[in-house]
């Protein structure tokens, strides 16, 4: 009977202590894991370390690219100007090799209507919901049709999309370099009020007459 008591109380005391201790993770011990296969990948994680990979430095599962090399197909990611005032000034000279064709402008419009319109507005009037509802102050220039955007060197627009400028964040992770140029061609189309076949709304200035609107399809 006495022995039974000791076993009983030891078990009652030991259980919570053991369960608390076994849950605690420290150092290399991850503690208790429920069904770890559900969240620990069976495949090797890139750049993780595994002593088995004796040939790779530090047992890395994947090697980092050799310094100064460019992965195949990613040459157009090379952009020489740093994210600084001087870099922005120098970017004025930068031009891409993506031409301003009808097809590229249309693709630029599609991308613009995903990534840009909510601030700059569908037609570049800076009347997207974010600016309109004053969630963020709009740029100092009123719209894309202002001289500032008309005259903005395309390289500077590329720099801004790549790194961001002021309150506009970088869009580099959303748009690859080719897509950035396509969007810029579309921005310039809006700025110069040249209508692409996909966009039929050409009313850029409030005082335009109906005839002006019709004519604006050709030149402007
Ligand atoms: C969150 C709102 C927001 C979004 C989204 C946004 N912009 Fe902007 N954009 C701004 C603001 C604010 C400025 C003014 C930045 C400054 O000069 O301080 C600006 C500036 C610009 C300029 C002038 C750049 C320069 O060098 O002065 C261009 C061109 C432009 N945006 C195009 C785009 C394009 C194209 C997209 C989509 C890929 C885009 N923006 C998405 C807020 C936005």
Q: For domain 88-195, give the CATH superfamily.
A: Cytochrome c-like domain (1.10.760.10)
d(C-alpha 145, C-alpha 121), whole Å: 12
| Residue ranges lining ligand 1, Cβ < 6 Å | 115-116, 118-120, 130, 136, 139, 152, 156-157, 160-161, 165-168, 171, 183, 187
**Can you give the pLDDT at residue 116?**
98
pLDDT tens, the chain, 220 aa long: 678 888 888 888 888 777 766 677 777 787 787 887 777 777 777 777 776 777 777 788 787 788 889 888 888 999 999 999 999 999 999 999 999 999 999 999 999 999 999 999 999 999 999 999 999 999 999 999 999 999 999 999 999 999 999 999 999 999 999 999 999 999 999 999 875 444 444 443 333 333 333 334 433 3
Tell how far the Cα of 54 is from the centroid of ligand 1, in angstroms.
48
d(CA 33, CA 218): 68
Residues 6+ apart with CB under 8 A from 97: 76
Give nearest CA residue, ligand 1 atom 8: 168
Q: Atom 37, ligand 1: which residue's CA is nearest?
A: 116
Distance between Cα 139 and ligand 1 center (Å): 8
Minimum CA distance residue for ligand 1 atom 7: 168
- The closest of 179, 176, 204 to 189, measured between CA atoms, is 204
CA atoms of 186 and 179, how far apart (whole Å):
11
Report CA(14)–ligand 1 centroid distance (Å).
Answer: 63
Contact status, residue 167 vs residue 144, Cβ threshold 8 Å: no
């Amino acid at each position: 009977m006495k022995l039974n008591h000791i076993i009983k109380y030891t078990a009652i005391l030991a259980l919570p202590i053991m369960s608390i201790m076994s849950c605690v993770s420290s150092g290399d011990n991850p503690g208790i894991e429920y069904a770890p296969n559900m969240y620990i990948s069976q495949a090797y994680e890139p750049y993780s370390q595994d002593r088995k990979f004796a040939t790779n430095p530090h047992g890395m599962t994947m090697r980092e690219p050799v310094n100064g090399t460019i992965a195949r197909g990613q040459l157009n990611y090379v952009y020489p100007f740093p994210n600084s005032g001087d870099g922005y000034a120098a970017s004025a000279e930068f031009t891409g090799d993506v031409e301003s064709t009808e097809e590229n402008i249309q693709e630029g419009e599609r991308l613009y209507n995903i990534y840009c319109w909510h601030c700059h507005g569908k037609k570049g009037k800076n009347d997207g919901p974010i600016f309109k509802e004053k969630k963020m102050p709009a740029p100092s220039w009123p719209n894309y049709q202002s001289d500032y955007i008309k005259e903005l060197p395309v390289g500077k627009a590329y720099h801004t999309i790549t790194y961001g400028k002021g309150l506009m964040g970088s869009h580099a992770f959303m748009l690859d370099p080719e897509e950035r140029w396509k969007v810029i061609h579309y921005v310039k189309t809006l700025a110069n009020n040249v209508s692409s076949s996909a966009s039929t709304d050409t009313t850029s200035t409030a005082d335009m007459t109906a005839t002006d609107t019709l004519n604006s399809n050709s030149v402007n």
